[in-house]
Amino acid sequence: MSSPIVLQWAVKQGLSVPAADKSAKCPGDVVSRLCKSDNSNCRQEINDGGFTCHCSKGYDGNPYIADGCQDIDECNIPSIRQSCLGGYCNNLPGHYECRCPRGTHGNASEPQGCVTNSATDIAERMIIPLDELAKATDNFNKAREIGGGGHGTVYKGILLDLNVVAIKKSKITLQKEIDEFINEVAILSQINHKNVVKLFGCCLETEVPLLVYEFIPNGTLDQHLHIEEPKRSLSWSNRLRIATEISTSLAYLHSSVSIPIIHRDIKSANILLDATMTSKISDFGASRYIPVDNKGLTTRIQGTFGYLDPECFNTGRLNEKSDVYSFGVILVELLTRKKPTCSHLSNEYGGLVPHFLNLLASRNLDQIMDPQVLEEGGTEVQQVVTLAASCINIRGEERPTMRQVELALEGLQQGSNKKYKKNDMVAEEFENRSIGGNYPSRTSEGQRVQESSRRYSLEQEMMMSARYPR
């Protein structure tokens, strides 16, 4: 039979040992010589007058060596973590606290003790302390980098409320960058839509402000669409679904928010895909509110070559139809798997859009269509082609609204879903490989497409050969 032994000891040798008193405090010279670790304290034992060192409350380890006492993470103790009934446990040096989730306030130790903040608290809710972001990213460790470029770096992190986030840290302190930061916070703080990336908040404690978004793990539509052969790209059913989701979010921005918004830089690289491949629009730095009179506004040209509305470029007038044009380019991109920014298409044909319209008018569209779309798609492919052509009409007033586009795509997707099994990545084989042959030029729809193409041909050299500024 064995029993535990408790060894009690104290240090006397080499130390001056005054008579012990009830306070049990150690002389200053003893503390400095004996207790080497921060967050430790010294005690004189009453029984024999010797001295012992102990880690402070909330710390554990060896107080006799430098940095020997380390913080105890109380939030890893189940009983303490579970005591935060209405919120979450937040570890602090030497202790902990129960916090309400971001956007709420109250008593986090009580069930349902945290209530939603009022509208006046929104600004405070959006501010995230720098120390929290530093902790979330392991002090902005290079191993946490998930993207970046000339404008800055994006880090992956976990906030105290356990939300996984992407933290955008800009490098440049130009006024233009600051203006875009303010613009993005102002717009995204008012948007709540499943197909728009969520902004959790920002940090204003650094020279260049930091933006904190929800973390979207699956990259961009551009990355998934333009993969190298022989890998198969996104299935046609997924492309149609993604197009519908993008149109839904743009229709929401144009007509459902209190002050309508023009995104101004819609492109496949700004469409993020989450863990379930649901699309989310990102990058609102260039966005603008639509004037109340809905007549558009005059602004400096901004956008991405290949996606930029030629009418806006030519006149400087911006309205929601500029987003419609950019979305139409994405539809063409989904149909052809060709990049609108491809220099080969720009040099030889004036760009992807004019090449697409010219082939459509001559009923030779199968020359540019993605073979995978021809293989997997059905009759709805023809209707998406027609819809794309209407969106990229050279005349903005003849383009549909995003609400009309949304309704059209939702109808097509519902019809498509009847043919495809849920989660099935391969569709029925498309029976008619020649899409161009299904557009007789004598129909009214065909005439409109041909007229649009002819107008485009007259103006494309002037407008599409330009290198639009970002």
274 noted as active-site residue: no
171 marked as binding residue: no
Same-domain check for residues 263 and 367: yes
Question: Are 288 and 361 part of one and the same domain?
Answer: yes
Answer yes or no: are the C-beta atoms of 146 and 165 closer than 8 Å: no
Identify which of 221, 213, 164 has the alpha carbon closest to the alpha carbon of residue 188: 213
Q: Are residues 229 and 143 in the same domain?
A: no
Residues 227 and 152 in one domain: no
- Which contacts qualify for 52-56: CB closer than 8 Å, 24 or more apart? 52/9, 52/10, 52/11, 56/94
Cis bond upstream, residue 230 (ω within 30): yes
Is 275 exposed, middle or buried (CB count within 10 Å of its CB: 0-12, 13-18, 19+)? exposed
pLDDT on residue 453: 40
Longest CA pairwise span in the chain (Å):
112
SS3 269: helix
CB count within 10 Å of CB 254 equals: 23
Q: Is 210 helix (H, G, I), strand (E, B) or coil?
A: strand
Amino acid letter at 356? F
* Position 463 in a domain: no
Of 129, 285, 152, 125, nearest to 203 by C-alpha is 129
| Structural domains counted in the chain | 3
**Residue of 38, 161, 265, 323 with catalytic role:** 265
DSSP line for 46-95: TTT--EEEEEPTTEEE-TTSTT-EEE--GGGSHHHHTT-TTSEEEEETTE
Per-residue pLDDT of the chain (470 residues; tens, 9 = 90+): 676 776 678 887 767 666 666 667 888 888 888 999 999 999 888 777 788 999 999 999 999 999 999 999 999 898 998 899 888 898 989 999 998 877 677 888 888 888 765 544 555 667 889 999 999 999 999 999 988 755 678 999 999 888 899 998 877 666 666 667 776 777 777 788 999 999 888 888 887 778 899 999 999 999 999 988 767 889 999 999 999 999 999 999 998 887 888 888 999 999 999 999 999 999 887 677 776 555 555 556 666 888 989 888 787 777 899 999 999 999 999 999 999 977 766 667 778 999 999 999 999 999 999 999 999 988 899 999 999 999 999 999 999 999 999 999 999 988 766 665 444 443 333 333 233 333 333 333 334 333 444 333 333 333 333 333 33
What pLDDT score does 466 carry? 35
How confident is the model at residue 120, as a pLDDT?
A: 42
pLDDT of residue 149: 59
- Predicted confidence at residue 182, as pLDDT, reads 72
The reported pTM is 0.65
Same domain for 291 and 333, yes or no, is: yes
The answer to whether residues 191 and 237 belong to one domain is no
With respect to residue 375, please indicate whether it lies within any of the assigned structural domains: yes
**Coil vs helix vs strand at 317:** strand
The range of the structural domain enclosing residue 178 comes to 125-215
Q: Do 164 and 192 reside in the same domain of the chain?
A: yes
Best CA proximity match to 338, nearest among 348, 323, 353:
353
Provide the CATH number for the domain around residue 129: 3.30.200.20
Contact 83/60 with Cβ under 8 angstroms?
A: no
- Using CA atoms, how far residue 366 sits from 68, 221, 345, 436, in Å, is 72, 23, 16, 6
Cβ atoms within 10 A of the Cβ of 67, count?
Answer: 11
274 and 288 housed in the same domain: yes
**Do 252 and 160 fall into the same domain?**
no
